[in-house]
A = this chain, B = another copy of it.
Amino acid sequence: MSHSSRREKSNCPISYSLDLFGDRWTLLVLRDLILHGKTRFAEFQDSDEKIASNILAERLRRLEGQGVVVRQKDPTDARQKIYAVTDKGQSLTPVLLEIAAWGASHDPQTGAPDGFANSFYADREGYYREHRRRIAELLEKQDAG
């Protein structure tokens, strides 16, 4: 009975999206997965915002249930699970980048790289492409390591 099931029906696509990630933590987990290439439970817990383990577990369960994330066993260590985004999850990249760009351009103390928002706004498609490259590279290194 958590989340949307008590709410009024709405066929608004924004409302649909918010049923899935309209809370603080879900988008931060997706940020770590999609933008930072994180894959382990403990890695999500390590980020600055310090998500509680019970909340993290619940959010990952929901994301998996909605087909946004998959949970695989780590072949090299049976204690660990590998979390990864599906295509449905990957397609949230532009949402995350817009949110990041907005934050970067309005937070006087942003920690985002200099000129990030401007170069993103100047050529979104180009930025997406470059981002894909960066992440592919990052995950490749992880597999190697």
Task: Please report the C-alpha to C-alpha distance between residue A84 and residue B94 in the assembled complex, in whole angstroms.
Answer: 26
Q: In the complex, what residue of chain B is closest to A35 when comparing beta carbons?
A: B14
Task: Please report the C-alpha to C-alpha distance between residue A7 and residue B48 in the assembled complex, in whole angstroms.
Answer: 9
Q: Known contacts being A7-B49, A50-B8, A94-B98, is A104 close to B22, with CB within 8 Å?
A: no
Interface size for A (C-beta < 8 A) is: 46
- Is the beta-carbon distance between A111 and B13 smaller than 8 angstroms? yes
Task: Please report the C-alpha to C-alpha distance between residue A3 and residue B49 in the assembled complex, in whole angstroms.
Answer: 13
- Is the beta-carbon distance between A22 and B11 smaller than 8 angstroms? no
Instruction: Kindly identify, within residues 106 to 145 of chain A, every residue whose CB is under 8 Å from any CB belonging to chain B.
Output: 106-107, 109-112, 116-117, 124
Q: In the complex, what residue of chain B is closest to A96 when comparing beta carbons?
A: B14
A73 within 8 A of B: no
Contacts of A99 in B (CB 8 A): 13-14, 17-18, 95
9 contacts between A and B (CB under 8 A): A10-B49, A11-B112, A12-B111, A14-B27, A16-B104, A17-B102, A22-B27, A91-B106, A95-B95
